[in-house]
Amino acid sequence: MAHASLTVFDALPAKERWFCRTRLKLAPLEAVAAQAVGQDILDVGCGHGVLAALLLHGHPERRVVGIDPDVRKIDWANESVGKQMNAEFRAVTIEALAAERPAAFDCVIIADVLCLIARDTWAPFLDAARRLLRPGGRLLVKDAENDGSWRAVKALWQERLMVHVLRRTVSTGGIGFATREELAGYVTRAGFAVDDITSYARGYTAPHVLLIAHLPP
Ligand SMILES: C[S@@+](CC[C@H](N)C(=O)[O-])C[C@H]1O[C@@H](n2cnc3c(N)ncnc32)[C@H](O)[C@@H]1O
C-alpha cells in the first residue's frame, strides 16, 4: 500500500508517478522526515519533492522550500506537491539561497545529494547549509555510506546508471560515497555539532545512513 503522501503526485504522468513511488520504496525517507523539526524546512536537492510531500503530510503548520538544479524535477514538484500553499520549489543553488535567506530555516535536509557533488565542494555546500539555519537549527544528512559492503558497490553502480545512462539524475561534479567518519568530519568542520549517525541499511539494498547535527545556539 503506497504512502498517503504520494497522492499529491497523482496528476503527474505514469512514469513520474512510478519514479516517486519507487523512490519511497528504495530509501528510508519516512525515517528522515520523522527527524525533521520546526516550521521552516529546507529540502536541498529535493528532486520531484517526495521527501517534501512526506514532510508536509499531516503538518499544515510547516513551510517547506525545495531546491534542485534540475529544472525538469522542479517542474514536476511544482505540478504536484508544489500546489500546496506551504510548499515552494525553485531551481536555485544552495549558495544563492543562503545569500538570499540567511538564518531562515529551522531544519535543513540534504538527502542523497552529497554523493552526487564533487568532494571539494562539500565544504562550501555545508557552509551554505549552516548560513541558512537559525541558531540551534537541525541539519539532517541522508546519504549512502562507503562501508565496504556489497550494498555500497551496488549503490554506486546504481547512481552511475541513473546519472550517465538513464540520465534521470543530475550530478554536479562526482559520484561517490564517504565513510561515516568522513561525513561527520565534513559536518563538524562546517560548524555543526553531530548528535547521531544511524545506519538504515537493514531491509534495503543500499547502505543508507542518516546523520543528525545541530548548529550551536
Ligand atoms: C538521488 S536524488 C534525491 C532526491 C531527493 N533528495 C530524495 O531524497 O528523494 C539527488 C538529487 O540531487 C540533485 N542535485 C545534484 N546536484 C545538486 C546540487 N549541487 N545541489 C542541490 N541538488 C543537487 C539532483 O538533481 C537530484 O534531484
Instruction: Record the cell numbers describing residue 75, joined without a space.
Output: 517542474
Does pLDDT of 12 surpass 90?
A: yes
* Model pLDDT, residue 2: 80
- The model's confidence at residue 170, banded by pLDDT at 50, 70 and 90, is confident
198-217 mean pLDDT: 95
> Quick one: which atom of ligand 1 is closest to the CA of 73?
27
Q: Is the CB of 40 under 6 A from ligand 1?
A: no
What predicted TM-score, i.e. pTM, was given to this entire model? 0.95
Q: Quick check: 130 pLDDT over 80? A: yes
Q: Give the H or E element holding residue 139.
A: strand 133-144
170 Cα–ligand 1 center, Å: 7
Atom of ligand 1 nearest to the CA of 43: 6
How far apart (Å, rounded) are the C-alpha atoms in residues 154 and 118? 20
- Taking only the tens place, the pLDDT of each residue in 41-87 is 999 999 999 999 999 999 999 999 999 999 999 999 999 999 999 99
Query: What would the pLDDT profile of 175-195 be if each residue is shown by its tens digit?
Result: 888 999 999 999 999 999 999
Rounded to the nearest angstrom, the distance between the alpha carbon of 177 and the centre of ligand 1 is: 14
Q: What is the pLDDT of residue 10?
A: 94
Cβ atoms of 190 and 146 closer than 8 Å: no
Per cent of the chain over pLDDT 70 is 100
Residue 209 carries which DSSP code? E
Please check the confidence at residue 94 and state whether its pLDDT lies above 80.
Answer: yes
Burial class of residue 80 (count of CB atoms within 10 Å of its CB; 0-12, 13-18, 19+): buried
Q: Which of 16, 113, 125, 200 to mutate to test the pocket of ligand 1 (most atoms within 8 A of CB)?
A: 113
> pLDDT confidence of 163, banded at 50, 70, 90?
confident
Would the CB of 207 count as within 6 Å of ligand 1? no
To the nearest whole number, what is the mean pLDDT of the chain? 94
C-alpha gyration radius of the chain: 16
Tell me what pLDDT residue 202 has. 94
Angle between helices 180-189 and 122-132 (to 10 degrees): 50
Q: How close is the Cα of 61 to the center of ligand 1, in Å?
A: 25
Residue 11 CA to ligand 1 center (angstroms) comes to 22
User: Residue 90 forms beta bridges with which residues?
Assistant: 67
Can you give the three-state secondary structure of 41-96, one letter per residue? EEEECCCCCHHHHHHHCCCCCCEEEEECCCHHHHHHHHCCHHHCCCEEEECCCHHH
For ligand 1, say whether the CB of 113 is within 6 Å of any of its atoms: yes
Type and span of the H or E element at 197: strand 193-199
Q: In the chain, where does DSSP find H-type helix?
A: 14-26, 29-34, 50-56, 71-78, 94-100, 122-132, 150-160, 180-189
Residue 70 Cβ inside 6 Å of ligand 1? The answer reads yes
Q: How confident is the model at residue 156 (pLDDT cuts 50, 70, 90)?
A: confident
Q: How confident is the model over 6-12, as a mean pLDDT?
A: 94
Contacts of 20 (CB under 8 A, 6+ apart): 6, 9, 12, 48, 50
pLDDT band of residue 150 (cuts 50, 70, 90) is confident
Identify whether the C-beta of residue 146 lies closer than 8 Å to the C-beta of residue 208.
no
Residue nearest to atom 20 of ligand 1 (CA): 45
**Which among 142, 170, 210 is the best mutation to test ligand 1's pocket, defined by most ligand atoms within 8 Å of the CB?**
170
In this prediction, residues 170-179 reach a mean pLDDT of: 82
Indicate whether residue 74 lines ligand 1 (CB < 6 A): no
HSE on the CB side for 165, CA within 13 Å?
6
pLDDT at 171 > cutoff 80: no
Q: What is the pLDDT of residue 186?
A: 98
